[in-house]
Structure 1
Amino acid sequence: MKNLAFVLLFMFVSFGVFAQKRGDFKGPAYKNYKPWLHKSETTLVYSVSKKEQLTGPAYKNKKPWQNKSQKTYVPIVFGSERSKLTGPAYKNYKPWRKSKA
């Protein structure tokens, strides 16, 4: 029981420590930080585009170490036509309409 409490405490503290990205600011500088004044690095997010879709007994009997298929990773791109709109045009955007009228 005591070990479980120590593990949970360690996890709680470690998640809190690694959650913050602006570790160089403290006090009022941290509170009054303006993110739009500083350039931040973009983080790429990848998705697997080709996965093996198994179900039932084939999935149950699959051996991970015998997997020879190649996975291809594709970066996820954010932004669309709707993200360029503002106001009522953004609210009333209908993605099924292809033409801009």
Structure 2
Amino acid sequence: MRNLVLFLTLSLVSYGVMAQKRSELRGPAYKNYKPWLNKSEPLTVYSFSKKENLTGPAFKNQKPWNKNKTVKYTSVVVGSERSKLMGPAYKNYKPWNKIRR
């Protein structure tokens, strides 16, 4: 029993140590690394679409066989129309006005 507990403890500790990602770069190569020169492929990130949350008696009286089990995904968009603007147009951006080009 003692050996089992010791083994489990060491395995959990080693799992935590090995979970950290190490960089192969060291010294000046790490200092002068240019991330924009890395040729990584961009990933599309998806999120669950918002579903209606039931509360009160509607939640209590819902039937498990009537639940809709389909999951809808929406893509996450980063950036806005304002991020495309530069100079005075960016500074004077009014969110309540449409962008006119």
**Common topology (TM > 0.5):** yes
Using the size of structure 1 for normalisation, the TM-score is: 0.60
Of residues 53-62 and 75-84 in structure 1, the stretch that sits farther from structure 2 once superposed is 53-62
Structure 2 vs 1, CA of residues 14 and 53 (structure 1 numbering), >3 Å: closer, same or farther?
farther
Give how far 1:61 is off: 7.2
Is 1:25 the counterpart of 2:13? The answer is no
Give the AA of the match of 1:76.
V
* Number of positions where the alignment pairs a residue of Structure 1 with one of Structure 2: 94
Partner of 2:48: 48
Assess if the C-alpha contact under 8 Å between 1:46 and 1:75 holds in 2: yes
Assess if the C-alpha contact under 8 Å between 1:47 and 1:74 holds in 2: yes
Give how far 1:69 is off: 2.7
RMSD: 3.7
The answer for unaligned runs of 5 or more in structure 1 is 1-5
- Aligned equivalents of 1:26, 1:66: Cα separation in 2: 57
Q: Percent identity?
A: 58
Structure 2 vs 1, CA of residues 14 and 92 (structure 1 numbering), >3 Å: closer, same or farther?
farther
For the pair shown, which has the larger CA radius of gyration, 1 or 2?
A: 2
SS in 2 for 1:74: strand
